[in-house]
Amino acid sequence: MAGLKPVYQAVNQEEGYKNLIKLDEKWGKKYPVPLQGWYINREYLSTFFKYDAAIRKVIYTTNMGEGFHRQVRKGTTTKGAFTSDTALLKLVYLVVQCLSEKWTMPLHNWHLTLSQLSIMFGDREKKSLEKSIKLT
């Protein structure tokens, strides 16, 4: 994982590719399949570099879905079996309530990142807002 950091933290696509080659030289024989995936999907993975460094950091350091899932699993796996689906839903609800108390800290530079995303995808943001207003 430490070897991948120079790839996705590179300043631009060309530097990222150079770092991928260095990574391949060091670890390619031991881990050929993951590195082959990077080469095969390079076209898709390189779109990551069109974003500003602040946005890229939010993308590669934040996976809220996995973190949320991990916390819910942590809260539910300690309980053996559930008497009903409702019992499970109640427990998940309680776990979410406990987790939501920790969701008070914003992401680092979130306002800057949000501003840049708004500039890049402003039309989508407006459409999303219009949909949510119609739904409520």
The answer to which of 19-28, 70-79, 111-120 has the lowest mean pLDDT is: 111-120
Determine what percent of the chain is predicted with pLDDT higher than 70. Answer: 83
Position 58 confidence tier, pLDDT thresholds 50, 70, 90: confident
Whether residue 104 is found in the same domain as residue 86: yes
Position 126 confidence tier, pLDDT thresholds 50, 70, 90: low
Whether residue 64 is found in the same domain as residue 42: no
Whether residue 46 is found in the same domain as residue 74: no
> Mean pLDDT in the chain?
79
Residues 67-107: tens digit of each pLDDT: 788 888 888 888 778 888 898 889 889 888 888 877 776 66
Whether residue 23 is found in the same domain as residue 64: no
Whether residue 80 is found in the same domain as residue 124: yes
Whether residue 65 is found in the same domain as residue 108: yes
Whether residue 67 is found in the same domain as residue 11: no
Whether residue 25 is found in the same domain as residue 44: yes
Domain extent for 65: 59-135
The 3-class SS string of 40-87 reads HCHHHHHHHHHCCHHHHHHHHHCCHHHHHHHHHHHHHHCCCCCCCHHH
Mean pLDDT of 49-69: 75
Whether residue 32 is found in the same domain as residue 74: no
Q: Residue 72's pLDDT is what?
A: 87
Contact by Cβ (8 Å): 23, 81? no
Contact by Cβ (8 Å): 56, 8? yes
Is the pTM for the entire model greater than 0.95?
no
Whether 136 shows a pLDDT value over 60: the answer reads no
Whether residue 30 is found in the same domain as residue 83: no
Whether residue 127 is found in the same domain as residue 76: yes
